[in-house]
Structure 1
Amino acid sequence: MKQLGYIFFLLPLAVWSQGNFEKGEQLFKQEQYAMAAPYFESFLNENPNNPQTMEYLGDIAAHQKKWDKAIANYKKLKTQFPKNAGYQYKYGGALGMKAKESSKFKALGMIGEIEDSFKAAAKLDVRHIESRWALVILYLELPGIVGGSEKKAQYYAGELMAISPVDGNLSKGHIAEYFKRYTEAEKYYLKAMAIGQSKTTYQRLADLYKNKMNLPEKAKQTLDLYQKKRT
């Protein structure tokens, strides 16, 4: 009977703890990140190393641009689950955002770990689109002296093409646009638009017309076409 009493005493604590997680998740889905965080933190105190809670807290910190906190949560996750592509990608992404806000000297020291995390995610999941996009952008923006290369960016754009023709064409268009090959970029964006028919594909083409090719009328026609397809 004494043991049964302990069970009844502990049961409300477990229910309260679970309620914290559910409340935090509800607020997170409503994008009420600051309000969600305390509920997740309370739940984590009762359930140390709970991966889903740590990921939510990492995501909240990332939304709030608190990169050190995001990095700490994602690092715990990727250490605990080294074969999880999503955790590797999020860790690399948070590191990358911190690097962008750091001095050039400090950022240079972070490049290797950022690259390794994205490559690990791509290797762990042969269909992981986000990590391949991240590598395309990383190799475009890095100076050649520290590993930047169009050839490397094209390699991962090619992998994207095999996984998702829409993303493949968008990434190849992005590369061409980066190097000011606007006619080539237009060709790839048109292909992506024809295949995907999504707002993103129309927007990328319209942005190219308006901001790079000085063709505001074509930009307007592209966006108008998207609106017509929606009705």
Structure 2
Amino acid sequence: MKWIIKIIFLLPFMVFSQSNFERAEKLFSQQKYSLAKPIFENILKENPNHPKTLEYLGDIEGANKSWDNAMMYYGKLKQLYPKQADFYYKYGGCLGMKAKEANKFAALGMIGEVKASFEKAIALNPKHIEARWALIEIYLQLPGIVGGSERKANSYANELMKISLVDGYLAKGHIAEYFDRYQEAEKNYKKAIEVGGSKNTYQKLANLYRNKLNQPEKAKQLLELYQEKIKS
């Protein structure tokens, strides 16, 4: 009998918390982060380990470029849910952005943990696409003397080919473009369009034409072709 009474007393609070969470979630989806944040924070006071609330607060801090605050939330999520790949990926992403904004000496001290976070995400979820993209970017951006490597970037692009063909071609195109091999990049972006046909695939090729090959008219025609495609 006592447990029934306890549930009756708790029910209004549970309904109130749920309605607040849904309101905050809606505000978050509308990118009204300053309004959503205090609601999520109040929910967290009542339920400090609520995973979605922690994640939303981490996402908000990340959107506001408050990397340390975001990492605090994702770090807690890693401790609570050590087998969830996305928490390692998000933590690594924030640490990577912090490193990017730091001085070169400080940044070098962070790179190892950034890479380890993405690698852990892949170990937990072998089909994690975003973590592979992040590692590709790291190996492209880093100077060779501190670990940059086209070969390693290509190895992750090859892995993407097995998981998502369109991402694989986009990654191959991105790597080729980074090293000014524009014909190779164009070839891979065209293959990505054939396989995926998304706006992103068309945009990547259009950007190559406009920004690297000085062919703005060709870029315009390509995007017009995409608009015609989605209308049909």
Per the alignment, in what secondary structure is the counterpart of residue 92 of structure 2? helix
How large is the Cα RMSD of the aligned pairs? 1.6
Per the alignment, in what secondary structure is the counterpart of residue 31 of structure 2? coil
Q: Distance in 2 between matches of 1:173 and 1:213?
A: 14
The answer to whether the Cα contact below 8 Å between 1:70 and 1:94 also exists between their aligned partners in 2 is: yes
Shift of 1:147: 1.1
Q: Distance in 1 between matches of 2:159 and 2:137?
A: 14
- AA aligned to 1:20 is N
Counterpart residue number, 1:46: 46
Structure 1 residues 223 and 3, CA, compared in 2 at 3 Å: closer, same or farther?
closer
Alignment of 1:29-40 (within 5 A): 29-40=29-40
Structure 2 gaps of 5+ residues are none
Alignment of 1:110-149 (within 5 A): 110-149=110-149
Counterpart residue number, 1:82: 82
Shift of 1:9: 4.5
Q: TM-score, normalised by structure 1?
A: 0.95
Shift of 1:18: 2.4
Shift of 1:2: 8.6
Per the alignment, in what secondary structure is the counterpart of residue 214 of structure 1? coil
Equivalences, count: 231
- AA aligned to 1:77 is L
Identity %: 62
- AA aligned to 1:57 is L
Q: Distance in 2 between matches of 1:158 and 1:131?
A: 14
Shift of 1:11: 3.5
Counterpart residue number, 2:98: 98
Per the alignment, in what secondary structure is the counterpart of residue 120 of structure 1? helix
Q: Distance in 2 between matches of 1:2 and 1:173?
A: 65
Shift of 1:10: 4.0
- AA aligned to 2:87 is Y
Q: Distance in 2 between matches of 1:211 and 1:159?
A: 28
Give CA deviations for 1:34-85 in whole Å, capped at 9, x if unaligned. Answer: 1111111111100111111100100111111111111110111112212111
Counterpart residue number, 2:56: 56
The answer to whether the Cα contact below 8 Å between 1:17 and 1:42 also exists between their aligned partners in 2 is: no
Shift of 1:8: 4.7
